[in-house]
Amino acid sequence: MNRPFELPTADAQPQSDLPWWKGATIYQIYPRSFMDSNGDGIGDLPGITQRLPYVASLGVDAIWISPFFVSPMKDFGYDVADYCDVDPIFGTLDDFDTLTAEAHRLGLKVLIDQVYSHTSDEHPWFSASRSSATNEKADWYVWADAKTEGSPPTNWQSVFGGPAWTWDARRGQYYLHNFLSSQPQLNLHNREVQDAILGVMRFWLERGVDGFRIDALNFAMHDPQLRDNPPAPDTGKPRTRPFDFQLKTYNQSHADIPAFIRRIRALTDAFDGTFTVAEVGGDDAEREMKLFTHGEAHLNSAYSFAFLYADALTPELVCKALSEWPDEADMGWPSWAFENHDAPRALSRWCEPEHRDAFARMKILLLACLRGNAILYYGEELGLTQVDIPFDQLHDPEAIANWPLTLSRDGARTPMPWTTQSPDGGFGSDNAWLPLGEENHARAVDRQEANENSLLNFTRRVLELRKANSALHHGSVRSCRADGALLDMVRESDGQTLRCLFNIGPDPIQIPDGNGSTLLRTHEAEPGHLPPYAALILEI
């Protein structure tokens, strides 16, 4: 019987003197949707703990847990009301400690999401700040007087639609919010605010976490002169939000952010093996990611958006993304993801339904072949697709505000399917906060565990290959060539050279010089020949 993959045992091993995170595979868990332990329809920390053996079986190095802190959940945890406690819908601090201990027992590092650019308007800090212009936290958020005719201080627009300023009668001023009006902007120019944030980091480090994914870091500081943003040139792409009409020159990307990052690095260096990765999106992301990770005094890595919103996966896109992160002194280390909680599922964006089986294998192998850290979104190893959520079942505030022009983030946040036998997919509740989706139910873990040729088992073999071969795990990119639908990448390290060949197209490709020893192949690929959406890893 022909198998869709073959994987001989590899002998090469990654260097043991590297930090654990360099070349790591990180598994992102969206806690609301992973596993519900108490039947209330919302996933929780005990549910994650229950499923950690499965996560460890994938061969990943770490988990990243999206926010589980006390929050009114207007943006589902990215509006934090208490940085140092667990929201009751997710459990307790004791539950988190149990989760961390079990993860460490299984050899998994634990990363948590941190939101430092803003809080919830229900955070005690904001309650104090808005009470008067003279209290001790009056300058902890960004406040400004109205213009003489009463309009907002600047023309800045929020990501979720509408002005980035909201009038507050108690202060008699406007406050800044780059996202929802219930997410007021912290004033990180204020040293006391920085100290408070560093105190939050210390709280979790002392509790045993191994690192942080820092949300929206380039929004952390604004222009104190409150200058208007200039208009953005018309690119011909649809503009669904006022935010799209401006260059974000003054409401983000302030030059003082790296100095705050250096304070973060000084703290994390006091704890062994801590890893930090910044989320940096927007028009100037490449420059900012390099700035935020430069040398040994800044963050360890930055989280690239190169693939998350791409309409198509192309060889040119891959080579361009890799070229931005050359193997040079003081250059930061990239982290890559094809999917996350904010972006549509990649299989729904990048291929037609009839090609998904082949494409999913090629895609997983490509992620593992990129130089940097690989971030796998929960369910990606199962081939989950975007679920179409009806308007009356939407929770995503951005999708509701911009309906129907903005694709719902909810469709990528649907429950993890564990079993095919139960109506809830084994999630733990028949009344989950979002629908499971029939297609995804059919891709449940139990069905794929029983099939040695499943995408799930293929993913395990891919991650095993990545760990076992230094060229893939942490090696350099000697070359990356795009030729039509062919992606031809050469990785090398420690005397090992691997040629990674991908056909990102529907037609077969002949490769006259495709010689070498096969380490892994998909869908009958072989030296010299790549079927549609197939991949081949050769040692040369």
Nearest to 441 by CA among 483, 385, 514, 504: 385
* Residue from 87, 95, 279, 398 carrying the catalytic annotation: 279
Query: Would you say 75 and 183 are in contact if contact means Cβ atoms under 8 Å apart?
Result: yes
Residue 486, SS3?
strand
Query: What six digits make up the tokens of 390?
Result: 């009806």
Query: What six digits make up the tokens of 528?
Result: 């010299």
DSSP state of 411: G
Query: Would you say 346 and 307 are in contact if contact means Cβ atoms under 8 Å apart?
Result: yes
Largest CA distance in the chain: 78
- The one-letter code for the residue type at 228 is D
45-57 vs 93-105: helix crossing angle, rounded to 10: 10
- The one-letter code for the residue type at 471 is A
Residue 486 β-bridge partners? 483, 503
Quote the CA–CA distance of 146 and 174 in Å, as a whole number: 7
DSSP state of 459: H
Query: Would you say 60 and 145 are in contact if contact means Cβ atoms under 8 Å apart?
Result: no
Quote the CA–CA distance of 117 and 186 in Å, as a whole number: 6
Query: Would you say 41 and 431 are in contact if contact means Cβ atoms under 8 Å apart?
Result: yes
Quote the CA–CA distance of 497 and 472 in Å, as a whole number: 9
Quote the CA–CA distance of 117 and 10 in Å, as a whole number: 44
DSSP state of 196: H
Instruction: List Cβ neighbours of 29 (8 Å cut-off, separation of 6 or more).
Output: 48, 55, 63, 64, 65, 66, 378
Quote the CA–CA distance of 61 and 27 in Å, as a whole number: 8
Helix residue spans in 370-416 (DSSP H):
397-401
Residue 425 β-bridge partners? none
Quote the CA–CA distance of 271 and 269 in Å, as a whole number: 5
DSSP state of 133: S
Q: What H or E segment, with its residue span, contains residue 368?
A: helix 356-369
Radius of gyration of the chain, Cα coordinates, nearest whole angstrom: 23
For the four alpha carbons of 409, 415, 418 and 423, in that order, the dihedral sign comes to negative
DSSP state of 329: T
Assess whether 215 carries a catalytic annotation: yes
* Residue from 215, 288, 357, 488 carrying the catalytic annotation: 215
Residue 157, SS3?
strand
Q: What H or E segment, with its residue span, contains residue 369?
A: helix 356-369
Catalytic residue annotation: 215, 279
